[in-house]
Structure 1
Amino acid sequence: MAASRSYGGIPAEQRRGQRRVALVAAGVEIVGTQGAARLTVGGLCSQAGLNERYFYESFASSEDVLVAVFDEVMAELTAVIVAAVAAAADDARAKARAAIAAAVELLTDDPRKTRIVFVEPLAAAALNSRRAEVGRSFVGLIVAQAHEFYGSATALRIGTWADFAAAHLLGGLAETLTAWVRGDLAISREELIERSTELFVLVADHVVGTG
């Protein structure tokens, strides 16, 4: 019963939720700056300012935290993309640019998030498998947005071309963004967004026109 009581006017369940949020935020900081290999229960709790006993009320292992950290960033990424597309003009280029700009800006404004999404999954098995799952979901999101924009008749006509093109473009954008963050591409962020948009639109026009 004691565990369910309010403390300072805050119910126990709410306090647990706040501690979980603090642990995930601490995980973002550690994984995004030092890497997944440096994530430990002790280090995480120290970063969050919590006693280690609170770790186990939310997570069973540090791998669970890694997945939660990745999911947190991906949920934020999905939300800004969906919102940007919804607010963009009813034009293929405008919507593509809005989605790409929202993603690029979110990830490059906070380099920790780029590392969490693109770098750490290559070294952490738990993140690698989760990244593959989320990647498939993102392909589905792109295809769903395309179907809504171009209409059901076009979607039926182009068939699996939509999934193929979405996977290809998504993978290419991820690699290009990673290369840009490393400094391998001598272009501005605006050029990165514009060139990526151009490729997305060119591929979409080709698939819709010939699919």
Structure 2
Amino acid sequence: MADMAQARPYRGVDAADRLAGRRRRLLEAGLELLGTPDGDPAELTVRAICAQAGLGLRYFYESFSDKDDFLAAVYDAVVADIAATTQAAVAAAPPDQQARAGMANIVRTISADNRVGRLLFSVELSNAVIVRKRAESSALFAGLLFAHAEALGAPDTEWVRAASHFAVGGVGQTISAWLSGDLKLSAEQLIDHLAATLEVLTDPPRAGDNEPDRR
């Protein structure tokens, strides 16, 4: 009977939608707490998360097993959003503008919401979960970049694969330096620079030029 009562719509909203709504509020609270300049995952508590979200403690544990699970979910949600919008921007651009379109979406997203930039790129956030998720997302974006390079005619070679990983790592480090103020570039200058860096993937060495055997 208790399960039936919980499953009944409340004010026209069913149980699954209420759960999803509470989860979104918690994730947004996590981004707010982690994305501020003094945000520290080590000092983040479940009580602080729930207070920021305006929810009771029991609602945290209906969606997350512990704080590490929560941190991973916050990061994944941000990466999923920026990956989706970047892919859409690239797909909508002509081939010779796709690298710039992708970089423009990323730079403008983190410019519009500093919390996103801090979570994805700030070296100040060195929590083990965040470090692990950054490594995972770097591999994801390297794979997407490699697929993009192949679609533009680059061969399936170890050179292009290596360049994809190198480019993603370089983009992340460059954005981190820009966010910290070490690079004095405007957003548009940064976009141009990053786009030029990525375009090297479509002009790899000729076949046989120091290309390792993949067998």
Structure 1 gaps, min length 5 = none
SS at match of 2:13: coil
1:103-134 superposed Cα distances (whole Å, 9 cap, x missing partner): 11111221111111122685211121122112
Q: Distance in 2 between matches of 1:160 and 1:121?
A: 33
Of 122, 125, 128, which residue of structure 1 is paired with 2:128? 125
Q: Distance in 2 between matches of 1:205 and 1:115?
A: 30
**Preserved CA contact (<8 Å) 1:120 1:127:** no
Structure 2 gaps, min length 5 = 210-215
Which AA in structure 2 matches 1:53? R
TM-score by length of 2: 0.89
Instruction: Indicate the RMSD between aligned Cα atoms, in angstroms.
Output: 1.6
**Preserved CA contact (<8 Å) 1:70 1:116:** yes
CA shift at 1:143, angstroms? 0.6
Structure (1/2) with the larger helix percentage: 1
TM-score by length of 1: 0.90
Q: Distance in 2 between matches of 1:182 and 1:114?
A: 10
Is residue 105 from structure 1 mapped to residue 93 from structure 2 by the alignment? no
Q: Distance in 1 between matches of 2:186 and 2:52?
A: 34
Q: Which residue of 1 aligns with 2:160?
A: 162
Of 182, 185, 188, which residue of structure 2 is paired with 1:184? 182
Q: Which residue of 1 aligns with 2:117?
A: 114
Which AA in structure 2 matches 1:131? R
Segments of 4+ in structure 1 off by > 6 A?
none
1:42-72 superposed Cα distances (whole Å, 9 cap, x missing partner): 0111111111111110011111111111011
CA change 1:58–1:106 in 2 (3 A) is same
**Preserved CA contact (<8 Å) 1:121 1:127:** no
